[in-house]
Amino acid sequence: MRHFALPFALLLLFSLLCLSCAREERHYVVGVSQCSEDIWRDKLNEELRMGEYYHNNLTLHIASANDNDRRQIAQIDEFIAQKVDLLIVSPNQLHTISPAIERAYAAKIPVILFDRKTDSKKYTAFIGADNYEIGRTMGRYLALQLGGRGKVVEVMGLKGSSPAIERHRGMMEALKAYPEVKVVGRCHADWLEGAAQAQMTKLLATLPDFDAVVGQNDRMAVGARKAVEAAGRGHDIIYMGIDALPVAGGGLEQVRDGGLRASYIYPTRGDLVVRLAMNILEGKPYARDNYLKSALVTKENASLLLMQDEELRQQSAKLAVLRGRVDTYFTQYQHQKVYLAFIVIIFLLILGVLFGLYRYISMKHRLVEAATQARLQFFTNLSHEFRTPLTLIIDPIDRLLDDTPLDDQQRSLLQLARRNVRVLLRLVTEILDLRKVQNGKMQLVLTEFDLREQLQEWVNGFMPAFERRGLLLHLDLPDALPMRADAEKTEQMLNNLLSNAIKFTPRGGTISVRATLEDGQVRIVVADTGVGIAKSRLSHVFDRFYQINAHDGKGTGIGLAIVKAFAELQGGSVSVESREGEGARFCIVLPCRQEGDSEADNKAETTPPAEASDHRPEPDFLEPDEGTSPTLSPETDRLTNPTPPEERPLVLIVDDNEEVREYVQSLLVPHYDILTAVDGEEGLSKALARVPDAIIADVSMPGMSGIDLCRRLKADAIVGHIPILLLTAHAQHRLEAYDCGADAYLLKPFSSKVLLARVQNLLSNRQRLKLVFSGEDNLPPKPADADEAFVRAFRDKVQQHMADPDLNVETIAAEMGMSRVQLYRKLKALTGNSPVELIRTTRLRRADLMLRQGGRTIAEVSYEVGFSSPSYFSKCFKEHFGRSPGTKPA
């Protein structure tokens, strides 16, 4: 995350910016080349700026040539070099500027001429007033003002500029209609007031009287008037100009105040110039020549026009305020966008850092946890490994103590050995239990029991220890404490607390056990008057592997951890109160009734209780009860006497541990024929080849495990019937073992008596299918039972081929897809009879039926059931039924 937070944030920012860009159209840059600088152009420039404002995708670069041709040419070339998208030019003069404009046009830059023209056709569009028409209107109005007769002085603009030429032509055209109106003087004043004043002064020196002065713009008309007034010439002279700008001292005011007789509005309309430019740039339709409408201004309309203009100005001012606000908001919006992007980036970075930190901490935690787990796994594996050698120690000791005549010293030595092996077993079991709880694999086995009775019984088991150690027991129990809980785990909790109390209470001390019922919960308190626990250690006593009094070496730190784990597993808790030197008080709280599967529903509990308690040894200091060895069943009793060799079933032992193999063999050999295999593969092939009557297999073997072996055998039609007993040191293999079809399961260390009883039990269960041959159809069909189906299939084959005297075991075995030996072993195992015996019994039973039905001779019947000799048939019949075929049954 840390690695991609930054790029991700940048990508996001980039996307945000792109998004905002994507919403705008293509951006255009337009160059504007003004020929000069004056109030008319200022107004125009302002309108162009407004137009630029209304188009977000437009940037104008406005330059002024200051009435200088060369400067304007240079400006235009500069714009071409900048590759502007469009050029707007007001050419200073016709001829001089044309080549530069043609260059732009050739560079595929659209060119708009405004106000003034060139003498070239190479431009994209023109926009401006019709100067010829303006000239004509002014000429006509002048003639009218002069009453069709008078002398006129014409003050012209820059020589060579198109408005000067066109306005002149227009006026002269209009005056043609008034031959009595004569132009008596003319000068060029370059559109400037000062120049006009100077030129007029010069002209006055030679000029006789005149009636009117027509300036080609207002400024020049005013300049000429100043010259006339300065020279003290005529006072009734009519002055006329063009532009009619609505600014202070401009044409409109001049007309209103009588300084000028008339003017003509020369429109600027920068807005229309910009719109034309945008149409061209955006490929919209436009006209090539655009003439702006205009009007004559006289004293009659000057005031009105000024008022209108004032109104417009105010509106514009308001608009400007609004525009300012919009600008502010837009700027704020832009800033906010950037802030937002930064906030998002910072947020993502913080998120990235936090995530990285989290990963680092959890990785560290995982490493520590992994190391702990590895240690625990090592303990667990070691504990499992202990189980096998412990089996090989404890069981021989048990057998020696049970069977061998011993003197007192030998017996007490053996008992000492057995006690200490049990200590080891208890430790191993506790480690494994703790691990199971941690892995969530420990299951509760719920039963209904009276805790009062159980507590009494469990505490009684400790009485010898109390006596030996000179401790007093105080028991305080209510009348009855019905519970639904895991009795075995509750017992172990109490055992551990009592063991602990005994360990740390010196001779003469008291240990009390008290149980109470409150709000559906039982409280079991085990208190002692022993050495107590230091305050600093109190909070750790339930931690696994924590020793209460580390220095005295008592305890492993597992017992109390087990108490806590089992209490919590049952939805309860355990607590401790203690002061150093003042004893300790442990309190278990458990719910009286727990929900969940009861003992009967629990699959693991299908194993007999003897086995379940087999791996749960007593606390080490308790004298084992010498009479607690598993009680012998009649079958086991029988097994104490060796079985005669001819009846001996064949048992296959599969275990990779040679010692276990040999030990189990030594246990079984007095009663069974033994076959051994060192691993799963060998076990499988020997089982298939020899079809033993029972198989004992270890679960944990390299290669094919006992579970795999069992699964393979159970899926096989030939050997699927063989009962399999699995041995393992891992309690969690139990469910797996039953799932794979094993018939029984024993946890190491196991008792030899239990093992023998279990094998015997499994073998005797297999005799029932004999019944299939006891009559024609006495056994109700059970199609789900593969063994029964097999036996029935054999019987059907025999019945099918009964008349065939050559019918033999090989033929039927081949038809059933197995060897003669396999068929023999399987049938023998399932029914107790060999195939030959079964064939003969079937034939004889059919013969008996036929004879009872009558209508056939003995010889006929004997042939029909497949006997080749009637005398042999009679002999067999008599052997089987105890009567000759000719006699009726009693």
Q: Which residues bind ligand FRU (CB under 6 A)?
A: 36, 38, 40-41, 115-116, 157, 163, 191, 217, 242-243, 266
Torsion angle, alpha carbons of 468, 474, 477, 479, to 10: 90
Shortest Å, Cβ 326 to ligand FRU: 32
Are the beta carbons of 800 and 842 closer than 8 angstroms? no
Classify each residue of 656-671 as buried b or exposed e, where b means 16 or more C-beta atoms within 10 Å of its C-beta. Answer: bbeebbebbbebbeeb
**Gap between the Cα atoms of 109 and 124, Å rounded:** 9
Are the beta carbons of 569 and 412 closer than 8 angstroms? no
Which lies closer to ligand FRU via its Cβ, residue 38 or residue 253? Answer: 38
Which lies closer to ligand FRU via its Cβ, residue 139 or residue 532? Answer: 139
First-residue to last-residue Cα distance in the chain: 95
Shortest Å, Cβ 132 to ligand FRU: 13
Q: At what angle do helices 559-569 and 487-504 cross, to 10 degrees?
A: 150
Classify each residue of 244-259 as buried b or exposed e, where b means 16 or more C-beta atoms within 10 Å of its C-beta. Answer: bbbeeebbbbbbbeeb
Which lies closer to ligand FRU via its Cβ, residue 157 or residue 185? Answer: 157
Residue from 654, 708, 692 nearest 676 by CA: 654
Shortest Å, Cβ 121 to ligand FRU: 20
Which lies closer to ligand FRU via its Cβ, residue 243 or residue 656? Answer: 243
Which lies closer to ligand FRU via its Cβ, residue 94 or residue 744? Answer: 94
Which lies closer to ligand FRU via its Cβ, residue 142 or residue 421? Answer: 142
Residue from 174, 166, 171, 161 nearest 214 by CA: 171
Shortest Å, Cβ 308 to ligand FRU: 21
Shortest Å, Cβ 192 to ligand FRU: 8
Which lies closer to ligand FRU via its Cβ, residue 161 or residue 831? Answer: 161
Residue from 879, 870, 777, 804 nearest 837 by CA: 879
**Gap between the Cα atoms of 505 and 465, Å rounded:** 12
Evaluated on CA atoms 683, 684, 688, 694, the torsion sign reads: positive
Which lies closer to ligand FRU via its Cβ, residue 113 or residue 513? Answer: 113
Which lies closer to ligand FRU via its Cβ, residue 155 or residue 227? Answer: 155
- Count the neighbouring beta carbons within 10 Å of the beta carbon of residue 389: 16
Shortest Å, Cβ 189 to ligand FRU: 10
Question: What's the longest Cα–Cα distance across the chain?
Answer: 184
Shortest Å, Cβ 324 to ligand FRU: 29
Query: What CA–CA distances, in Å, run from 7 to 3, 22, 346, 347, 359?
Result: 8, 21, 12, 13, 20
Shortest Å, Cβ 59 to ligand FRU: 24
Shortest Å, Cβ 276 to ligand FRU: 18
DSSP string, 313-344: HHHHHHHHHHHHHHHHHHHHHHHHHHHHHHHH
Q: Which long-range contacts (CB under 8 A, 24 or more apart) does 798-807 make?
A: 798/838, 798/839, 798/842, 798/843, 799/842, 799/846, 801/866, 802/842, 802/843, 802/846, 802/864, 802/865, 802/866, 803/863, 803/864, 803/865, 803/866, 804/866, 805/863, 805/866, 805/867, 805/868, 807/839, 807/866
Instruction: Give SS3 for 33.
Output: strand
Residue from 709, 824, 5 nearest 355 by CA: 5
Shortest Å, Cβ 172 to ligand FRU: 18
Which lies closer to ligand FRU via its Cβ, residue 191 or residue 286? Answer: 191
Are the beta carbons of 726 and 697 closer than 8 angstroms? yes
Query: Residue 634 corresponds to which tokens in the numbers above?
Result: 């009649």
Beta bridge partners of 746: 727
Residue from 510, 463, 744 nearest 621 by CA: 463
Query: Residue 272 corresponds to which tokens in the numbers above?
Result: 């229309």
Are the beta carbons of 68 and 92 closer than 8 angstroms? yes
Shortest Å, Cβ 130 to ligand FRU: 13
Are the beta carbons of 889 and 881 closer than 8 angstroms? yes
Which lies closer to ligand FRU via its Cβ, residue 46 or residue 796? Answer: 46
Which lies closer to ligand FRU via its Cβ, residue 263 or residue 842? Answer: 263
Residue from 745, 762, 760, 748 nearest 640 by CA: 760
Which lies closer to ligand FRU via its Cβ, residue 242 or residue 747? Answer: 242
Shortest Å, Cβ 157 to ligand FRU: 6
Shortest Å, Cβ 141 to ligand FRU: 17
Which lies closer to ligand FRU via its Cβ, residue 192 or residue 524? Answer: 192
Beta bridge partners of 182: 151
Which lies closer to ligand FRU via its Cβ, residue 251 or residue 749? Answer: 251
DSSP string, 445-481: -BEEEEHHHHHHHHHHTTHHHHHHTT-EEEEE--S--
Classify each residue of 361-388 as buried b or exposed e, where b means 16 or more C-beta atoms within 10 Å of its C-beta. Answer: eeeeeeeeeeeeeeebeebbeebbebbb
β pairing state of 125-129 and 181-188? unpaired
Residue from 815, 883, 814 nearest 848 by CA: 883
Which lies closer to ligand FRU via its Cβ, residue 242 or residue 531? Answer: 242
Shortest Å, Cβ 188 to ligand FRU: 13
Shortest Å, Cβ 242 to ligand FRU: 5
Which lies closer to ligand FRU via its Cβ, residue 160 or residue 741? Answer: 160
Which lies closer to ligand FRU via its Cβ, residue 38 or residue 611? Answer: 38
Shortest Å, Cβ 186 to ligand FRU: 17
**Gap between the Cα atoms of 788 and 778, Å rounded:** 13
Shortest Å, Cβ 92 to ligand FRU: 9
Beta bridge partners of 125: 112
Shortest Å, Cβ 83 to ligand FRU: 28
